[in-house]
Each structure stands twice: as C-alpha cells, then as structure tokens.
Structure 1
Amino acid sequence: MRTWTQPDLPQLSGTGSMPKLFNTATQRMEHPAIPDGRALLYVCGITPYDATHLGHAFTYLTFDIMQRAWRDAGIETVYAQNITDVDDPLLERANDTGVDWRVLADEQIGLYRSDMHRLGMLPPEHFIAVTEQIDEISSAVRQLQERGLAYTVETADAEGDDIYFDTAAAERETQWRLGDVAPYDPELMRKLSAERGGDPDRPGKRGPLDPLLWRAARDGEPSWESPVGPGRPGWHIECSVIATGALGGAFTVQGGGSDLIFPHHEYTAAHATALSGTPLAHAYCHVGLVAYQGHKMSKSRGNLVFVSKLLDGGADPSAIRLGLLAHHYRSEWEWHDADLATATRRLDAWRAGLVRPCEDPVVAATVVQQLRAALANDLDTPVMLATLDAALDRGVDEPALVADAVLALLGVRL
C-alpha cells in the first residue's frame, strides 16, 4: 500500500543516547534490544472509518518521536504499520451510511495518509492492509490447526465453522503464557475481552478468552476462499502475520494505544510465538488515551476531534504537534478546545525567541544536550518543551542549531 512522503529531518552534530522506554510487559524502564544497530518497530494502524482523530494522532506522534530518538542516536529504523481494512466496525459503518465498505475504507485511508503527511509524521517502510495479506493469514491459521493450537466452533448461520485459538494448548506447547504482555488478572481480562471485540460467553469455546482466528463466511459479509474455508480473518492473527512478515520475529518494539494491551497485543504475541517459536517483540510500549468533553475519545460516543478539520480550519501542523507533545505519551489526559490556542501561542513565542536580540544568550549546544537527555528518558516531551520555553524566552546564541534540533527531534518547524 502506498505510504506518504518523508518529511525533512535535519542531521545534528554528535549523537543522542538510545532512549530508555517503559515496557508494559515487564513494567520496567528498559533499553530494548537493538541488534546490529537497527530498531524494528510495529505499530497497529487504524480501522478506516473515522480517521484521523487526535487520539490516533497522539499515538502515531509518540512512535514518530521514538524513531526520531533512535535516529538521533545513530540507530537505523524500520517501521511497519497495518491498516485493518476489513472489520466489524467498518462493515457496520458502511451499512449504516449505505456506502460500499471498500469505498469507505479507501476514502478514510486516503484521509489518514494526508493527515499524517501534513503533520510531518515519519512514514512506515511497510504500510500493509489486511486485505493484501489474506492468503498469508489464512495459511497461518491452517498452521495453527495442524499444530493442535486451534479448533472449530460450530456456526449455524455460516458456510462453515469459526476457528478459535486454543489458549490452554498454546500455554502447554509454546513459550508464551497468558499475561506475558498484559499485567492483568483473569477477571479483568474477561471483562476487557467482552468490551474489545472478544466473545468470552460464546458457547462451544474451550476457554472464555480464546480469540477468533477465522470467521466463516456469512451472507452479506466480505469473505475470501482459503485453505481453512471461505471467510475472513480474526483481529489478532492479522497483526501477527503482518508484523512478522514485515519485520521478522523478536523485533524491537510493538506499539499502540493502551486499549490494545489486552486482548489485542497479548494474543498477537501468542499467535506469533505459536507460529515462529520466538517472542513477537522485545518491548511493548503503549500510549495513554485522550479524552474530550469528559470522556475518552471514541467513535461510539462521537466526541472526536479530527486532525483534518483542525488543519483545514487554519491550524499550524506544528501547533497541533505541540498541543499533543505537552503531555507525556503514557499519560491519560483530556483535550480542550483552548489547547490549540495555547499551543499556537507557544509556537509563536518560540519563533519570536529565535530572532530576539539578546546580550546573554543561552548556549544552543547546551539546549540540544538537554533536549537529547529528556528524549532518552522515556521520550519526556513535556520536559523538552519546558527546556525550549526557558531557552527561547531568553534567547540562544545559535538560532539555526536550535531550529534544526526542534525539527529533527520534535518535528516542529520554527
């Protein structure tokens, strides 16, 4: 799938430090393993029916900043992202609006691509739609069946039977264990499964948390012929196959919003480990959810703030980035309508500070050093912004150096 154009990324003198990141799976700050100086990053992409709201933007900005930190430390990056372009929410939206699901998906993917480009996000090297990988995904489901790690559940309204992953068998036969990614107790896992696309109460399943691998074809739903019968993929197996196909096993970081910790990332890791015999990723990094009007931004509630509307209304892309970067990526926070104006004032103040005459300026090289130190500390962008507030309020001795650093490390154009 076509991605978007690479933004400007100035090369700074010297190098930063490899960032220490919070690993959800271990609940510790760590330096993820990066063999051969090459960081491999997979981030779960959008389901294209309501793109791109600020919750999306906050997530993808986090991993944009992560890549900038790695690159500044002299580490090569390879970035993969999927698009879930066939899924129940997309099909429901298409049905509600009377638009063909493929047309709706293409329209929203185009909008998302445009939003990412306008915001100056680093594009993925691998940008892959689920519908481009149906053969690979169905073959993976067949492999899990052959290894005794999947089973069928009788389905009255379909051409065949649905296929589920056997959690208990996977725990016996592979090195994966339930809870390897998600630090939750079983009761919470069951609750989250029901809320996030699972079906813990479905009759015929061997275990309540067992996730769907292949949904047998139903009337009125898209389906594909496959080695496991006509149908379409379940959610988690899609990312397992796309991620490992693009990056291989045991890549550096699996990323996404915190609402993906369970069941999505837990079972993406389970499927990948069952298929390859190796863990999915060295570290799992998750971004806090963004609220608006008192509630988490969600499509069901309709309290979404769209990037395209802000940009079309005249917002500076750098101001939008600053409004998001004012919050640490792991924090849960609420966007207020006044936040854009606040970020715009900060951006204007920085731009004015670059050209302000000053008798006792701050040493720009010291500012860059401070920015790099904050970035290496779990991508601490609020500290980076505070550092720049202080330096540009006083003035700096090399404005061009600071401007290049702000663009290279934060993607903010001064």
Structure 2
Amino acid sequence: MLMLSVYNTLAREKQVFTPIEPGKVRMYVCGMTVYDLCHIGHARMLTAFDVVVRWLRASGYQVDYVRNITDIEDKIINRALELGITPEALVDRTIAEMHEDLGALYLQPPTHEPRATQHVGGMIRLIEGLIANGRAYPAENGDVYYAVREFPGYGKLSRKSLDDLRAGERVGIDPHKRDPLDFVLWKAAKPGEPQWDSPWGPGRPGWHIECSAMSEYHLGSHFDIHGGGEDLQFPHHENEIAQSEGCHNHSYVNYWLHNGFLQLHGEKMSKSLGNFFTIRDVLKHFDGEVVRFLLIRGHYRSPINYSEELMRDAKNGLERLYTALKNVPPVGRAPIDWESDYARRFKTVMDDDFNTPEAIAVLFEMANEVNRTGSAELSAQLKGLAGILGLLQRDAVDFLQAAHGEGGLSAEAIEQMIVARTEARKAKNFAESDRIRDELLKAGVVLEDAAGKTTWRRQ
C-alpha cells in the first residue's frame, strides 16, 4: 500500500506521514498580515498549501485547516494612519479584497480563519504560562519578553545556535532585555494605538505569540502539520515552538512544511524589496486558473520564477489540457478509478511529498491519449484527477473562448466575423473567407472547421 511521505523541515528529511488521530489531520498555515493587497508571492504560498489540503482530503483524511489573519501589527497601524482611516476599517477592506483575489485563483476557504484580535485572551494566558515556567519576564517598561536561553530547544527548526545568533546580532541593545536575543511577547501601549488590558498593563501582543494562541485554540497544543513560507522558519516558527513548547512542556507540531519563494529576476518577490506584482495586477492580463497552473507547475519546496513569458507558457499548457476536454467531452462525473495506470501514477507522485510537477506530467499524458483514442471515459478521469489540483473544472469551450483579461475581440465580434466568413464561403468568395480567417488569427483567434461547423478558440 502506498504511503504519503512529506518533507519535514524539523527532521530535514522525508518522513511517512502518520496523523496523531487516525483518519484526521489538524493543519495550521500562517496567513496574511492584512495591511495591503496580496501579491503573487503570497499566492505562491497560499496555493501550495491549498494543494496540500486538497490531496489530504482526496486521500480520505478529514482535514481541519486553519489559516490565520494577522489584523493587528505595526504595518497595519502605520498604513491606516497614512490613509486617515481606522485600523479596523483598513483590515475589513483588505480582508474582503484578499478573499476576492484568492477566489479568482480557485483556493478553497480554510475550515477556520481566525483573526488575531479575537484571541488576545488566549495570548495572555500563554504568556502567563511562560512566566510561571520561568521562560518569560515582564520588564519595567511594560513589555514582556521571552528568555530564549531558558528554552533548551531553541534553534532546532532553523538549525541556528544561540552563540551563532549572538555573534551575528546587529540590532541595538534594548536595555529592558536580559539578553539581546530575547523577543517581545507583549508590547506596552503607545498613544493612539489599539490596546488591551493585561496583567502587565495595557498593550498589545507581539506577532509571534499570535499563531501559538490561534493554533492552540482551534487545533490543540499538539497537532499534525504547520506550514508557511521558508522565510518564516526563523524567527517566526522558531519562536512559535519556543512559546508553545515552553508553556506546555510537550511537542508542538509533528511535521513542518515550508514552500519555496516565487522569484522575479532571481530575487525573492516581496513588498520590502519593492519587486512584486499584486494578484490583481496579474489578473488584469491572465486568467486566475492560468496563474494557479503556473504556481503549482513547480514543486512547492522549490523556488519558481515569475515572468510574462512563463505566464504565457502556462496559458498555452492549460489550453492544451482544456482542448482535449473540448475535443472529447467527459462522460458525466465518473469517480476516479484509482486502479487505472494513470491514477496510480498520479497517486504515487502526489504521495511523494505532493509532487505536482510529476502529477501534471501525468495529466498531459492523459490528454494526449484522449486526443489519440477519443475516449470519453479517459477524458472524465482526466477532469477528475485535475480537479484534485483545482484545475480543469470549467466548461472547456468557455475557457478556450474567454479573453482571460488580455483584451482583444469580444466573443460577439468573433461570432459575427465567423458568420460573415461562412456567407463568403457559400458565395465562393474564398479570398474574403481567407481574409477574415487571417484577421481573426492576427487577433489571436483560431478557427477550426470540422463536420460542416466552425468553432473557435483564443490562441
């Protein structure tokens, strides 16, 4: 029997996945800090874990998927001040925009989407537990810090030692910290900022404590999978482990999964570097399913590049798959035959740490076979397997005829030109007929004549 194996960052190796509770998976992924529109690098991370959840569910697991929202943070406060609105108004607007963008990429909603501000009480209780265990301390300025040297396992995820971290320390020394490496759990209130009451005075939580509290509330203090971008390994995920294990004195997460970066000209795409495109920027030119196809065509742990040329290549690839479905419409929605050769190969590669590039290669082989044999049953299997990846679930003709945000002739204009071409052919005016075909081709529209009918698709 095939077993799912995943690359566990904590162990630095692939391991057979064994959930804590048979048949059920509890999974947490660090979501967005909602101060601005999501960029395409964020889409890379969110789509990667959407595929993980889809495959777990296709494998028969009941998945409790939590993806949080950070709705209180310095960037949110500063952006709200710039715009002259309240942080709450900025957060509500940005969350609505995020949901719209992720829906365009065919991401399924998480089981739970907690906001940090809904869990401040849980964060305070965690901090109290850490103080009681001697791993955190209140400072005179009203802040509360985590004492990293009081947690023996600090650095086990990122493979960083405290001595190496201390040697590389460049930030100014905070006189309120016992050690420069200590990090803040609770920030004392500043004038004009959102604040909550606490045993240490009014203030707000630090960023790292938020995920420890939200994951514990929804999944318990020990759960199966924690995911996020590879840039979160240190310090964010390292600090989460220190907080949760430092409070509860037992293991926090069994499997840590991290996705590779989306790169532009060889650099990580990020707002801090200023080299990014928002999801909305890209959707002005390309269909959301094309974007999704590009993002999952590379393995989730590997860096992938973004360019307009690669986007067009992804568009062409997706059109090849949809063309097979158009030429040979699937027979209903038949269940996947997991005993068939294609499905078994698809499952084998997906069970090997969610190897989507190899899974997509199987889809292309199926499409070629559909075109060769005209098998409607195989076409249905192609659609079913692709659906696990969030692909090929639209009407094939609709997809192939859609403008995908790139402008060009409208469907109505194309249909009118096809009618004119048909009339020209009936009148044996083949020069006019060829002229119309060439004009459509220049506009990116391909005509296909078969069985006395003319169909079209965008090139």
TM range, smaller chain: 0.7 to 0.9
Match of 1:165 in 2: 146
Distance of 2:254 and 2:87 partners within structure 1: 36
The answer to whether the 8 Å contact 1:32/1:253 transfers is no
Q: Secondary structure at the match of 2:10?
A: coil
More divergent stretch after superposition (49-58 vs 251-260): 49-58
Q: Is 1:350 the counterpart of 2:336 in the alignment?
A: no
Distance of 2:64 and 2:239 partners within structure 1: 23
User: Which amino acid in structure 1 is aligned with residue 75 of structure 2?
Assistant: P
Q: Is 1:370 the counterpart of 2:356 in the alignment?
A: no
Match of 1:382 in 2: 357
Match of 2:53 in 1: 67
C-alpha change, 1:260 and 1:348, in structure 2 (3 Å) is same
Write out aligned runs for 1:12-411 (5 A): 17-34=2-19, 35-155=21-141, 161-171=142-152, 177-186=153-162, 189=165, 201-311=173-283, 313=284, 315-356=286-327, 365-395=340-370, 397=375, 398-411=378-391
Structure 2 residues without counterparts, runs of 5 or longer: 329-336, 395-459
Distance of 1:50 and 1:188 partners within structure 2: 35
More divergent stretch after superposition (30-39 vs 341-350): 30-39
* Bigger relative CO (Cα 8 Å, ≥ 6 apart): 1
Query: TM-score scaled by structure 2?
Result: 0.77
Q: Secondary structure at the match of 2:33?
A: coil
Distance of 2:32 and 2:208 partners within structure 1: 14
Distance of 1:191 and 1:382 partners within structure 2: 41
Match of 2:334 in 1: none
The answer to whether the 8 Å contact 1:83/1:130 transfers is yes
Distance of 1:332 and 1:206 partners within structure 2: 38
- 1:244-294 superposed Cα distances (whole Å, 9 cap, x missing partner): 111012211110000100111011011111222221110110011112244
CA drift of 1:81 comes to 1.4
Give the alignment's Cα RMSD to 1 decimal: 2.4
The answer to whether the 8 Å contact 2:3/2:17 transfers is no
Distance of 2:82 and 2:167 partners within structure 1: 28
The answer to whether the 8 Å contact 1:19/1:70 transfers is no
Distance of 1:110 and 1:355 partners within structure 2: 35
The answer to whether the 8 Å contact 1:189/1:263 transfers is no
Q: Secondary structure at the match of 1:62?
A: helix
C-alpha change, 1:70 and 1:193, in structure 2 (3 Å) is farther
Query: TM-score scaled by structure 1?
Result: 0.85
Q: Secondary structure at the match of 1:239?
A: helix
CA drift of 1:356 comes to 4.1
Q: Report how many residues are paired.
A: 380
Identity of aligned residues (%): 31
CA drift of 1:115 comes to 1.8
CA drift of 1:117 comes to 2.1
- 1:155-206 superposed Cα distances (whole Å, 9 cap, x missing partner): 3xxxxx21101112233xxxxx012221234466469987xxxx67323322
C-alpha change, 1:291 and 1:96, in structure 2 (3 Å) is farther
Q: Secondary structure at the match of 1:126?
A: coil
The answer to whether the 8 Å contact 2:189/2:202 transfers is yes
CA drift of 1:152 comes to 2.4
User: Which amino acid in structure 2 is aligned with residue 163 of structure 1?
Assistant: V
Match of 1:9 in 2: none
C-alpha change, 1:89 and 1:253, in structure 2 (3 Å) is same
Q: Secondary structure at the match of 1:81?
A: strand
C-alpha change, 1:193 and 1:278, in structure 2 (3 Å) is farther
Structure 1 residues without counterparts, runs of 5 or longer: 1-15, 156-160, 172-176, 358-362
